[in-house]
Amino acid sequence: MAFEFNKLKEDVTGKADEILKSVLESSKYSMGKTSEWIDKINSEMISHLRDISPNFKYIVSTVVLQKIGAGFHSEVTSYWDPSTDGVVLSKFENESLICLSTIICVAI
């Protein structure tokens, strides 16, 4: 059982990329579908995270944007113990949308 984020980071990164791709790969941007996609992505991520280690509190934030050439900037700042806590940023992009997920893992 992992108690340090560095031991989870590779698994979290790989699974996050896999979840985004599986949910969005063949999708075209639809404002009416974004809530459904975000709920599915966040639920699958939290479920996986809880399975790999119950020794963390997890926060997942996902944004889906229509790919129209507009700028978007995002940043995560934290004050925590870098030896046990961490963050993973995952991005998926296709012809019509961009999705960014931020996964924050804080050791209990």
Tens digit of each residue's pLDDT (9 = 90 or more) over 55-108: 999 999 999 999 998 888 888 888 899 889 999 999 999 999 999 999 999 999
Give the per-residue pLDDT at 72.
86
Residue 68 corresponds to which tokens in the numbers above?
């129209």
CA gap 50, 11 in Å, rounded: 12
Task: Write the CATH number for 34.
Answer: 3.30.1140.40
Give the domain extent around 89. Answer: 5-107
Banded pLDDT at 4 (limits 50, 70, 90)? confident
Residue burial 82-102, b: 16+ Cβ < 10 Å; e: rest:
eebbbbbebebeeeebbbbbb
Number of domain units in the chain? 1
Report which of residues 62 and 4 the model is more confident about: 62
